[in-house]
């Protein structure tokens, strides 16, 4: 499923970092250049007064609710898998309509199990569309196993995303920046 072109990037973040903001800013920067990023990015992750899991469709600006209200005192997972899959189908339609890049919100429990939005990664890469996904640092080993080792590890910064995008995109004008971090993919190129 994955190739050595390293068009699959993990934006690896620590608990004190905001991958959502970085991905939103990156997507907005690409859009201002006429580059079509499609995907889903979480909203309100760090706001303690927002007990919801909401996301925005990058390609349409539509906000989607991804949580289910389990009632007061509920301890179970609040992710509404049906809503997530519905959002995933809309992202898949956007990929089919034409995309330069796919951005996936998180490598979470659903994706670790091969569910959730994991199929969008394969769909995009099969169409030679680069993919970036936010991956928590404590889950990076699981991500590498999922990706078969064929992923670039990026620090959680806009500069790292910009450098990666310049390298993998056809819009890079032939200028290849210094690697952000030496990876297996870079070594086999």
pLDDT 10s digits, 60-114: 888 887 766 655 665 555 667 778 788 888 999 999 999 999 999 888 877 887 7
Interatomic CA distance for residues 32 and 175, integer angstroms = 20
Enumerate the domain spans of the chain.
Answer: 8-188
The structure's pTM equals 0.78
- Token pair, residue 136, equals 């928590």
Interatomic CA distance for residues 28 and 58, integer angstroms = 9
Rounded to the nearest 5°, which phi and psi values hold at 104?
Answer: -110, 130
Architecture of domain 8-188: 3-Layer(aba) Sandwich (3.40)
The Cα angle at residue 148 between residues 143 and 149, in degrees rounded to 5: 75
pLDDT 10s digits, 7-57: 999 999 999 998 999 999 999 999 999 999 999 988 865 444 444 578 888
The residue behind tokens 């078969």 is 148
């Amino acid at each position: 499923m994955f190739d050595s072109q390293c068009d699959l990037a993990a934006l690896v973040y620590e608990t004190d970092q905001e991958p959502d903001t970085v991905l939103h800013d990156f997507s907005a920067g690409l859009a201002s250049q006429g580059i079509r990023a499609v995907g889903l990015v979480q909203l309100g992750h760090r706001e303690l007064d927002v007990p919801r899991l909401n996301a925005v469709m990058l390609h349409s600006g539509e906000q989607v609710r991804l949580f289910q209200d389990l009632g007061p005192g509920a301890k179970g997972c609040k992710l509404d898998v049906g809503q997530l899959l519905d959002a995933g189908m809309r992202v898949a339609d956007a990929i089919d309509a034409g995309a330069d890049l796919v951005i996936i919100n998180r490598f979470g429990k659903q994706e670790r199990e091969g569910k959730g939005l994991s199929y969008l990664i394969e769909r995009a890469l099969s169409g030679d569309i680069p993919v970036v996904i936010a991956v928590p640092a404590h889950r990076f080993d699981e991500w590498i196993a999922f990706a078969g080792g064929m992923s670039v590890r990026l620090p959680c910064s806009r500069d790292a995303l910009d450098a990666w995008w310049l390298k993998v995109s056809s819009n890079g004008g032939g200028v290849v920046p210094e690697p952000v971090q030496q990876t297996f993919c870079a070594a086999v190129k």
